[in-house]
Chains A and B, each alone.
Chain A
Amino acid sequence: AQSVTQPDIHITVSEGASLELRCNYSYGATPYLFWYVQSPGQGLQLLLKYFSGDTLVQGIKGFEAEFKRSQSSFNLRKPSVHWSDAAEYFCAVAPVLGGGYNKLIFGAGTRLAVHP
């Protein structure tokens, strides 16, 4: 069965420091890959997605992610964190179906705290 693992439940970084959130997936082929962010009391906002092509993907708010097939990973990075980045981050995979997909399978999330 497909699954997503986010090994870090909580991460705390200082403002201005770099960030890397880990995501590993289990799937027979290359799925579609996503990172979403959820601020307190808010819905999920798409940060970036990988369908195919260049394995380094740029997203909104200065985030990027790198797909590594050999490691079944899709880690999210940001070079310099801002206090407003404090939120919960979800990695998700979607099994590919005939060029599209339907359901998203989410990891448990990583809660990011930012110290001033």
Chain B
Amino acid sequence: DSGVTQTPKHLITATGQRVTLRCSPRSGDLSVYWYQQSLDQGLQFLIQYYNGEERAKGNILERFSAQQFPDLHSELNLSSLELGDSALYFCASSPRTDTQYFGPGTRLTVL
């Protein structure tokens, strides 16, 4: 158990819908990272937040957004969902920019 929690574990929704994925980092970790794991793209970095501020952006679609709240938990919002958004979404956390500890992931299925 890495100490990073993600909810929900599974999410099934329809095309065009919007979902929110939640991540609670390890106690004391200020950085939160989001990654997408799909069969065709592999594991890809989406975005990083540090103490509430966006720090780095990767291959994140404009339909996706994230934020980190004052209690350091983070949410990843995915809107106008398409079939291709079906993937495993991981959250990771680290104290600053050190080792990233990954959560168990949220499996999103878009039908």
Contact = CB atoms under 8 A, between A and B. Distances in A.
A102 B33 contact: yes
A106 B43 contact: yes
A43 B96 contact: no
Contact of A46 (B43, B97, B101): B101
A116 to B, nearest CB: 28
Interface of B: 2, 4, 31, 33, 35, 42-45, 48, 55-56, 58, 90, 92, 96-105
A108 B45 contact: no
B33 A103 contact: yes
Given A45-B102, A49-B99, A103-B48, 20 more contacts: A36-B102, A42-B104, A43-B2, A43-B102, A43-B103, A45-B2, A46-B99, A100-B96, A101-B97, A102-B33, A102-B97, A103-B33, A103-B56, A103-B58, A104-B45, A104-B100, A105-B45, A106-B42, A109-B42, A109-B43
9 contacts: A36-B102, A42-B104, A43-B104, A44-B102, A45-B2, A49-B99, A100-B96, A102-B31, A102-B56
A101 B98 CA distance: 7
Contacts of B35: 104
Interface string A28-47: 00000000100000111110
A60 interface: no
Interface string A82-114: 000000001010000101111111111100000
A90 B43 contact: yes
Interface of A: 36, 42-46, 49, 90, 92, 97, 99-109
A102 B42 contact: no
Nearest 4 CB-CB pairings of A with B = A100-B97, A103-B45, A106-B43, A44-B102
A70 to B, nearest CB: 26
Nearest to A100: B97
